Amino acid sequence: MPPLMHGTAPLTARLEPWMERLLTDPGLCQELIEEHGSPLNLHDFSAMSRNIGELRQTAEEHGTDFQIYLARKANKTIGAIDQAAAEGCGVDVASFRELDQCLKRGVPADRLIVTAAVKSSELLTLAVDNDVVLSLDNVDEALDLLDIAAESGRRVRVALRLASTNPKIAPTRFGLRAEQWLDFLESADRTTGLEVCGIHFHLNGYSAQQRALVLAESLRLIDALRDLGHAPEFVDMGGGIPMSYLDDAAQWTGFWEDLAALPAGDESLTWKSDRLGANGTEPSGSVYPYHQKLIRGEWLKQILASDSEGAGESVAQMLKERGIQLRCEPGRTLLDGCGMTLAEVAFVKTRSDGLPLVGLHMNRTQCRSTSADFLVDPLLLQTGTPRSERVALSAFLVGAYCIEEELILRRRFEFPQGVAAGDLVAFPNTGGYLMHIIESGSHQLPLARNLCWDAGEWAQDSVDKQSIEMELA
Ligand SMILES: *Cc1c(COP(=O)(O)O)cnc(C)c1O
């Protein structure tokens, strides 16, 4: 059966079995929306196990001591933490609340790392009190931390965030250069009490080659730290491990070719002929590469097997020789297949010039990352009772914020059998970033609820309740 909804240039989502099962039960979807409101974020974390397994298998094949820390910022549910912990993974946290919630949830200190870009003294104190490793970003932060540690008389364990000086790596606001860290450690007598237990970095983009280069650079810094009497144990290469939302490579390349071929102002593929940052027929760098071939295990293999320094030694060998554990902090790729967002159709109408619009009970921050658009086709469930006969329609999805540019997605969609108020639109694979990273409740609209599949039922995640309690506190 042809889909009830697809992009005018289709980008067909890869679905998990749990998503397919749920979508064959429109009655249940409707009940969930009636009970919890629209939009609604649904999570089933069973796929996380597979995603973790793919990474671990590659590490094992290369004899690499390996540990995974879920990047919490990619999804705020407590369910995600529970699943990561149950899989033997740690969690990478980026704020006081994220750390506090993990500690209260029973994640052990050695399974946590604080990588917040800016750290409040409350966050520093909470980490020190609980013996959680902090990724140090700069000298001011290091000195604040030492003050806090001096007051409590506790040791502080840190990873140094390394800003690479390799000319192949783009300049970064995060961390300091190796020589800056070494200067700091050598010059200050105040650094006693600071245990440097690892090196941390996180790169923009998804290049395996770049990570191999910075891993080698990190290991050189580790050698220098050992000479200074420190005993670092790990290199944490951050996140950015690729995933793929689309199976069909031809759809992905075809979309960009079709978009490039459109004359200016032609809205047959995107709103106001939006090129989504593309300049020509290549995929735009302003969106996530929604189709990728090299993901997770295969991608990690490229890093571990690489001889990035040309010294006849692979990254895996360099790690092993030094007895260094490789850590990573994947967010998106661990959550691949773990989330789906449902929203109810509020109305069908036309723009003043006749262009068809489908309005959703949802705003555009509720299925959006920092990418220019989410380039994955939603699915339609015909749960509505149309007030007139359903007829084929080609339309844009608009949302609840009172802004002309309030598009849920920037692409145009076909509804071969029509669409009506009361229908449901399902956005697949939204668990990593799409639900939470920039969600807002402007106009005093409530944030979407989060449900997790738990012991055979859809249960509300406790993060929703905790957020309300903390607002009131
Ligand atoms: C965002 C972030 C991650 C996660 O990145 P993904 O692309 O989701 O894998 C990991 N570590 C740090 C420090 C980050 O800022």
Q: What is the pLDDT of residues 153-171, one digit of tens each?
A: 888 999 999 999 999 999 9
User: 240 CB less than 6 Å from ligand 1?
Assistant: yes
Residue 113 domain flag: yes
Q: Determine the distance separating the centroid of ligand 1 and the alpha carbon of 189, expressed in angstroms.
A: 33
Instruction: Give the model's pLDDT for residue 309.
Output: 79
Neighbours of 48 (CB within 10 A): 25
User: 243 CB less than 6 Å from ligand 1?
Assistant: no
Q: Name the residue of 72, 73, 134 whose CB sits within 8 Å of the most ligand 1 atoms, as the mutation to test its pocket.
A: 73
User: Are 36 and 141 in a shared domain?
Assistant: no
Of 301, 328, 355, which marks where a domain is finished? 328
Question: Could you tell me whether strands 112-114 and 156-161 are parallel, antiparallel, or unpaired per DSSP bridges?
Answer: unpaired
Structure confidence by residue, pLDDT tens digits, 3-22? 999 999 999 999 999 999 99
Structure confidence by residue, pLDDT tens digits, 376-427? 999 999 999 999 999 999 999 999 999 999 999 999 999 999 999 999 999 9
Residue 278 domain flag: no
d(CA 203, CA 212): 11
Q: Determine the distance separating the centroid of ligand 1 and the alpha carbon of 389, expressed in angstroms.
A: 48
| Closest atom of ligand 1 relative to the 174 alpha carbon | 13
User: Are 169 and 222 in a shared domain?
Assistant: yes
Q: Determine the distance separating the centroid of ligand 1 and the alpha carbon of 310, expressed in angstroms.
A: 28
Q: Determine the distance separating the centroid of ligand 1 and the alpha carbon of 71, expressed in angstroms.
A: 6
Q: Determine the distance separating the centroid of ligand 1 and the alpha carbon of 355, expressed in angstroms.
A: 39
Residue 279 domain flag: no
Structure confidence by residue, pLDDT tens digits, 328-355? 999 999 999 999 999 999 999 999 999 9
Structure confidence by residue, pLDDT tens digits, 174-217? 999 999 999 999 886 667 789 999 999 999 999 999 999 999 99
Residue 471's pLDDT band (cuts 50, 70, 90): low
Residue 375 domain flag: yes
Whether the bond between 39 and the residue before it is cis, its omega within 30 degrees of 0, is: yes
Percent of the chain with pLDDT over 70: 98
User: Are 149 and 205 in a shared domain?
Assistant: yes
What CATH number corresponds to the domain at position 88?
3.20.20.10
Per the DSSP assignment, residues forming a β-bridge with 407 are: 398
Q: Determine the distance separating the centroid of ligand 1 and the alpha carbon of 334, expressed in angstroms.
A: 11
What CATH number corresponds to the domain at position 26?
2.40.37.10
Structure confidence by residue, pLDDT tens digits, 18-53? 999 999 999 999 999 999 999 999 999 999 999 999
User: Are 298 and 344 in a shared domain?
Assistant: no
d(CA 335, CA 293): 18
Residue 259 domain flag: no
One-letter identity of residue 411? R
User: Are 385 and 348 in a shared domain?
Assistant: yes
| Closest atom of ligand 1 relative to the 73 alpha carbon | 1
Instruction: Give the model's pLDDT for residue 123.
Output: 98
Q: Determine the distance separating the centroid of ligand 1 and the alpha carbon of 162, expressed in angstroms.
A: 15
User: 74 CB less than 6 Å from ligand 1?
Assistant: yes
Instruction: Give the model's pLDDT for residue 193.
Output: 80
d(CA 42, CA 323): 41
Residue 59's pLDDT band (cuts 50, 70, 90): very high
Of 271, 306, 328, which marks where a domain is finished? 328
Q: Determine the distance separating the centroid of ligand 1 and the alpha carbon of 160, expressed in angstroms.
A: 16
**Residue among 352, 364, 333 nearest 448 (CA):** 364
Q: Determine the distance separating the centroid of ligand 1 and the alpha carbon of 330, expressed in angstroms.
A: 6
| Closest atom of ligand 1 relative to the 332 alpha carbon | 8
Q: Determine the distance separating the centroid of ligand 1 and the alpha carbon of 270, expressed in angstroms.
A: 29
d(CA 153, CA 176): 27
Structure confidence by residue, pLDDT tens digits, 426-457? 999 999 999 999 999 999 999 999 999 998 99
Q: Determine the distance separating the centroid of ligand 1 and the alpha carbon of 464, expressed in angstroms.
A: 23
User: Are 138 and 22 in a shared domain?
Assistant: no
User: 431 CB less than 6 Å from ligand 1?
Assistant: no
Question: 208 lies in which domain range?
Answer: 47-243+291-328
Structure confidence by residue, pLDDT tens digits, 215-260? 999 999 999 999 999 999 999 999 999 999 999 999 999 999 999 9
The sign of the torsion formed by the CA atoms of 7, 10, 13, 19 equals: positive
User: Are 158 and 180 in a shared domain?
Assistant: yes
Q: Determine the distance separating the centroid of ligand 1 and the alpha carbon of 202, expressed in angstroms.
A: 7
User: 332 CB less than 6 Å from ligand 1?
Assistant: yes
| Closest atom of ligand 1 relative to the 331 alpha carbon | 8
Residue 67 domain flag: yes
464 near 450, Cβ under 8 Å?
A: yes
User: Are 79 and 223 in a shared domain?
Assistant: yes
| Closest atom of ligand 1 relative to the 200 alpha carbon | 13
User: Are 189 and 220 in a shared domain?
Assistant: yes
Instruction: Give the model's pLDDT for residue 472.
Output: 64
Of 328, 349, 382, which marks where a domain is finished? 328
d(CA 31, CA 93): 34
| Closest atom of ligand 1 relative to the 330 alpha carbon | 9
Structure confidence by residue, pLDDT tens digits, 371-381? 999 999 999 99
User: 238 CB less than 6 Å from ligand 1?
Assistant: yes
Structure confidence by residue, pLDDT tens digits, 109-136? 999 999 999 999 999 999 999 999 999 9
Question: Residue 81: is its pLDDT beyond 70?
Answer: yes
User: Are 318 and 354 in a shared domain?
Assistant: no
User: Are 217 and 205 in a shared domain?
Assistant: yes
Instruction: Give the model's pLDDT for residue 311.
Output: 80
d(CA 311, CA 466): 52
CA angle 253, 356, 32 (to 5 degrees): 85
Residue 261 domain flag: no
The count of residues in the chain is 473
User: 329 CB less than 6 Å from ligand 1?
Assistant: yes
Residue 268 domain flag: no
Q: How many domains does the chain have?
A: 2
Q: Name the residue of 48, 98, 199, 202 whose CB sits within 8 Å of the most ligand 1 atoms, as the mutation to test its pocket.
A: 202
Query: By alpha-carbon position, which residue is closest to atom 15 of ligand 1?
Result: 202
Instruction: Give the model's pLDDT for residue 468.
Output: 67
Q: Determine the distance separating the centroid of ligand 1 and the alpha carbon of 42, expressed in angstroms.
A: 22
User: Are 95 and 230 in a shared domain?
Assistant: yes
Question: Residue 466: is its pLDDT beyond 80?
Answer: no
Residue 302's pLDDT band (cuts 50, 70, 90): very high
User: 330 CB less than 6 Å from ligand 1?
Assistant: yes
